[in-house]
Chains A and B, each alone.
Chain A
Amino acid sequence: MSLPDWIVLIGFLAFVVIYGVWKTRGKNNIQDYLLASRATPWYMVTLSIMATQASAITFLSTPGQAYSDGMRFVQFYLGLPIAMIILSVTAVPIFHRLRVFTAYEYLEQRFDLKNRILGSVLFLIQRGLAAGFTILAPALILSVILGWDIRFTVCIIGGLVIVYTTTGGSDAVNKTHLLQMIIITAGMFAAFWVILRLLPPDVSFLDATHIAGKMGKLNAITFDFDWKDRYNFWSGLLGGTFLALSYFGTDQSQVQRYLSGKSIAQSRMGLLANGVVKIPMQFSILFAGAMIFVVYQFVTPPLFFNPVETQNVKNSAFAADYNNLEYKFTLLHEQKQGTIRDMLAALHNQDQGGLQTSVEQLQALSGEEKTIIKSAGELIIKANPKADGNDTNYIFLSFVIRFLPTGLVGLVLAAILSASMSSTAAELNALASTTVVDIYKRMIKKSGSDHHYLLVSRLATIFWGLYAVAFAWFANRLGTLIEAVNILGSLFYGAILGIFLIAFYFKRIGGVETFWAAIIAEILVIACFLFTDIPYLWYNVIGCLALLFIAHLVKMCRSLLLAR
Chain B
Amino acid sequence: MIDQQEKKSSNDIEKPPLLSSWPKLYLVVFLNLVLLVVLFYIFTKYFS
Contact = CB atoms under 8 A, between A and B. Distances in A.
Interface of A: 42, 74, 78, 81-82, 84-85, 88-89, 93-94, 97-98, 109-110, 209-210, 212-214, 216, 218-223, 233, 263-266, 268-269, 272, 275-276, 279-280, 283, 507
A266 B47 CA distance: 40
Contact of B33 (A78, A89, A220): A78
B16 A219 contact: no
Contacts of B13: 93, 264-265, 268
A82 B41 contact: no
A265 B17 contact: yes
Contacts of B2: 98, 109-110
A88 B24 CA distance: 13
Given A216-B48, A218-B43, A264-B14, 7 more contacts: A42-B17, A81-B29, A93-B8, A97-B8, A214-B47, A268-B13, A269-B18
A85 B14 contact: no
A276 B44 CA distance: 21
Contacts of A268: 13, 16, 22
Contacts of A85: 26, 29-30
B47 A212 contact: yes
A78 B3 CA distance: 33
23 contacts: A42-B17, A85-B30, A89-B10, A93-B6, A93-B13, A94-B6, A97-B5, A98-B5, A218-B44, A220-B43, A220-B44, A221-B37, A222-B44, A264-B13, A265-B15, A268-B22, A269-B18, A275-B29, A276-B28, A276-B29, A279-B36, A283-B40, A507-B3
Contacts of B46: 213
B16 A269 contact: yes
Nearest to A504: B6
A522 to B, nearest CB: 26
Interface of B: 2-3, 5-6, 8, 10, 13-18, 22, 25-26, 28-30, 32-33, 36-37, 40-41, 43-44, 46-48
Contacts of B36: 279-280
Contacts of B43: 218, 220-221
Given A93-B13, A265-B13, A272 B33 contact: no
Nearest to A92: B13
Given A213-B46, A265-B15, A84 B29 contact: yes
B26 A272 contact: yes
Given A233-B37, A265-B14, A272-B26, A219 B44 contact: yes
B10 A93 contact: yes
A377 to B, nearest CB: 27
B42 to A, nearest CB: 9
A254 B17 CA distance: 21
A94 B5 CA distance: 8
A2 B32 CA distance: 44
A251 B47 CA distance: 39
A209 B47 contact: yes
A266 B17 contact: yes
Nearest to A507: B3
Contacts of B33: 78, 81-82, 275, 279
Of A88, A109, A210, most buried by chain B (CB within 10 Å of CB) is: A88
B9 to A, nearest CB: 10
Contacts of B25: 269, 272
B5 to A, nearest CB: 5
A513 to B, nearest CB: 17
A515 B32 CA distance: 38
Contacts of B41: 220-221, 223
A263 B8 CA distance: 15
A109 B4 CA distance: 13
A221 B34 CA distance: 12
Contacts of B8: 93, 97
A88 B26 contact: yes
Contacts of B10: 89, 93
Contacts of B22: 88, 268
Nearest to A70: B44
B27 to A, nearest CB: 9
A272 B5 CA distance: 23
A109 B10 CA distance: 21
B32 to A, nearest CB: 5
B26 A89 contact: yes
Contact of B29 (A42, A218, A265, A272): A272
A178 to B, nearest CB: 18
A496 to B, nearest CB: 20
Contacts of B29: 81, 84-85, 272, 275-276
A214 B3 contact: no
Contacts of B30: 81-82, 85
A110 B6 CA distance: 11
B6 to A, nearest CB: 6
A280 B32 CA distance: 11
Nearest to B36: A279
Given A85-B26, A88-B26, A220-B43, A78 B17 contact: no
